[in-house]
Chains A and B, each alone.
Chain A
Amino acid sequence: MTGLGNTRLSSFADLERMREELFSRRAPSTKSVHVCTGPGCAAKGSPKLYELFCAAVKQAGADVEVQAKAVGCHGLCEYGPIVLIQPGNIFYQRVEEPDVAEIFRETVLGGRVVERLLYENPATGEKADTVDKIPFYKAQKRIALAYNGLIDPTSIEDYIVAGGYTALPKVLNGMAPEEIITEVERSGLRGRGGGGFPTARKWRSCREAEGFPKYVICNGDEGDPGAFMDRAIMEGNPHSVIEGMLIGAYAIGSEQGYIYVRNEYPLSVERLNEAIEQAKDLGLLGKNILGSSFSFDIRINRGGGAFVCGESTALMASLEGRPGEPRAKYIHTVESGLRGKPTNLNNVETWANIPQIIKHGGEWFAGIGTEKSKGTKVFSLVGNVVNTGLVEVPMGITLRRIIDEIGGGIPDGKRFKAVQTGGPSGGCIPTEHLDARVDFDELTKLGSMMGSGGMIVMDEDTCMVKVAKYFTDFLQKESCGKCTPCREGLSQMLYILDRITDGEGQVGDIEELEILADLLEGTALCALGKTAANPVISTIRYFRDEYDAHILDRHCPAKECRGLFRYEIDPEACKSCGICLKNCPADAITGDKKVPYVINQEKCTLCGTCWEKCPFTAVLKV
């Protein structure tokens, strides 16, 4: 629904007129119901809620100024489905279909709050009626996610009214390419996809490279398991990426852009395609944008299902219709990339930051963060943490604040054990470093890395050797297989880790893992291979005692590795109900009424059925 018809904007003045017109149409008294349809909430059925709200709006009649919007990921996925009511920023959590009528009647029409749907702080019992009163959101600073929750991602008008496509005319109407690059340089923006390379430097090198045409690429191949930041941006605010790419293309001298979206994100592809069509209709993409001499087009390519295509040269190979095999980078892609032409590739979040940087200035951005890591970073805070979801925080905030203050700590009364950052290229950080300030260099010093922003919290019941094995297995399967050290080396590492978690570890295994890690780092062809051993090395560094227990004692301290721990029945907790005996497939349990049941360790096959079935949690892992 364009409202103004699909009239092409042929000048900067046209755009401003449109913005004013749209703004004036939205009466300040209009009430708005925002239903989050980000990945987490959608998986819990929020699209249906949106439909119900739309029906309610329709039923209310034309004289009631109210609208319903489906918005992108707002962040607090654990408490989804989330519904926000404007004005007032009222925040409702865990909304279900029967709640819709009540919300509409009480809050939207009546201005009253529905208490039971408000967020309640599990630690203090305090209720919060608005977003800013919720601890999860208080410590956050939202730049890339600024419009998520505010705008309907399928509406370019929403983006324009919210202030989008303000940076683009600023650039086209009076900033020379070198000026733009200097502004980005001033901001100190570093790549948000994992590499952390200074963005302005990359743009400048590409601009100065010889060759035509030049390409700009958006890397939407968010493959790190546990990460869904880019997805939330692509689906929640696709125009921020498009606008960023427009600005970058203008600065570099490119007329053709590509957004490479991983195959597992069909909704992102849909949203981006929709956004591109709308931008094209308005003349914000295509020839002579806003009447200037700048032309730019974007095409979307879907990945085929390969984690390695997140690596820039592999991505480019994929765009050329080849298997996604990385190549040597002695000659950089800014010099010779896609089809041998100068190519500038940046991550989704990097692009999404650009419009804001141009709008508010590089200095503003540089005022946030640490000395070498400016601005904010979106993290996906997941795993054993109370408030799972997406958070955007200034660089330099401590891990402790993210996990405790924003994350709400560890659920079920468990202790924190480690936080894994950087995906399969990263490492695990233990308790003693929780006060580390999160930035590119700090995390690297600790043996991990920022990566794309996945932050997986692990509690005391997590076996760190198993975590290392999980990532090694992941990489071994995703390795392109081209170079010897990655293909063979990961298989060898996996073989050793398998033996260790099976109880067949040998003295010297840890040293062998370290030798292989060193070999991979030095000789692998691409970043996947070079960083592949990080999960193993960081867990050896901080949790060596667990490795030793597996190898020397054939015991898994976290009691996760099957066969390396026992099940025993706690005689004090056992109520002699007999459920365990009935379900034991090995007839290993004996017992009687009023007598604690006992597991015969010789017969026990360690299947864990008794542990699952016991209603009194009397079966213990030992």
Chain B
Amino acid sequence: MPQDRDLIEQIVKRYDGDTGMLIPMMQDLQSECGYLPAEHLRYLSGRLKVPMSRLYAVATFYSSFRLAPKGAHEVTLCMGTVCYLKGAPKISETICREFHVEPGGTTRDGLFTLQAVNCVGACAVAPVMLVDGKYYDSVTPASALEILYELATDKATAEKEAEI
């Protein structure tokens, strides 16, 4: 598609076609599209003259890359040592059970994608949860669910408004 090509051209130009900047290029692509669409990657491969297998290797090696679309919100749970010791697994379990989702996956209704990361560097206020980049400190299973229910309510409200 022509707009795909434009986006890739833009990104390649931004980094002067330097193949060493492949990861930042893919990060920019994911910022734009929410994930790494296969067709965009194929075009990028041709444009940079880097084999598709290398792009695929990079996309599947680093945890931050997604090859499938994500949910409307990004929920990140910190699983660093301190958060872990202060109960992060229980929080994760609770969220997964309530919303029928696995870490790394997206809820069926596309409300949010759940990610587990190793330490966001806010250990003093563990356990930490991020929603769309916003930090929530000293989270408990109950408070985590509350925060996520609010997302669902916001979505329902937004949908209702859209209907009207």
Contacts and interface: CB of A to CB of B under 8 A. Distances in A.
Contacts of A454: 81
A596 B118 CA distance: 44
B80 A225 contact: yes
Given A321-B20, A323-B58, A39 B122 contact: yes
Contact of B123 (A80, A226, A458, A470): A226
A306 B61 contact: yes
A305 interface: yes
Given A44-B137, A322-B54, A323-B61, A302 B123 contact: no
A322 B58 CA distance: 6
Interface string A216-227: 000000111111
Interface string B105-143: 000000000000111111111101000010111000000
B81 A420 contact: yes
Interface string A249-285: 0000000000000011110000000000000000000
Interface string A454-491: 10101000100001001100100010100000000000
Contacts of B46: none
Nearest to B126: A382
A382 B58 contact: no
Interface residues of B, number: 39
A223 B119 contact: yes
A227 B121 contact: yes
A231 B81 contact: no
Given A43-B137, A304-B23, A227 B63 contact: no
A388 B119 contact: no
Contact of A226 (B24, B81, B125, B133): B81
B123 A264 contact: no
A227 B83 CA distance: 12
Contacts of A264: 117, 119-121
Contact of A304 (B27, B84, B121): B27
A224 B121 CA distance: 9
B19 interface: yes
A318 interface: yes
A364 B23 CA distance: 42
A165 interface: no
A244 interface: no
Given A301-B24, A302-B27, A382-B82, A321 B58 contact: yes
A227 B118 CA distance: 11
B68 interface: no
Nearest to A304: B62
Contact of B20 (A39, A319, A456): A319
A228 B81 contact: no
Contacts of B57: 322-323
Nearest to B57: A323
A464 to B, nearest CB: 12
B35 interface: no
B21 interface: yes
A228 B118 CA distance: 12
B141 to A, nearest CB: 10
Contact of A302 (B23, B81, B119, B133): B23
A224 B118 CA distance: 8
A462 B123 contact: no
B64 A304 contact: yes
Interface string A308-331: 000000000011111110000000
B125 A40 contact: yes
B121 A456 contact: no
A389 B62 CA distance: 29
Contacts of B80: 225-226
Contacts of B67: none
A42 interface: yes
Interface in A430-465: 454, 456, 458, 462
Contacts of A43: 122, 125, 128, 135-137
30 contacts: A40-B122, A40-B137, A43-B122, A43-B125, A77-B124, A222-B121, A224-B119, A225-B79, A225-B80, A225-B82, A225-B119, A226-B80, A227-B119, A228-B121, A263-B62, A301-B21, A302-B27, A304-B61, A305-B64, A306-B61, A319-B20, A322-B57, A383-B85, A420-B81, A454-B81, A456-B82, A456-B85, A458-B85, A470-B81, A471-B81
Interface of B: 19-24, 26-27, 50, 54, 57-58, 61-65, 79-85, 117-126, 128, 133, 135-137
The 6 closest A-B pairs by CB, nearest first: A304-B62, A77-B124, A321-B22, A225-B80, A305-B63, A305-B64
Given A40-B137, A226-B81, 20 more contacts: A40-B124, A43-B122, A43-B136, A44-B125, A223-B119, A228-B121, A264-B119, A266-B133, A301-B23, A321-B19, A322-B22, A322-B58, A323-B58, A382-B82, A382-B124, A382-B126, A383-B85, A389-B124, A462-B85, A471-B81
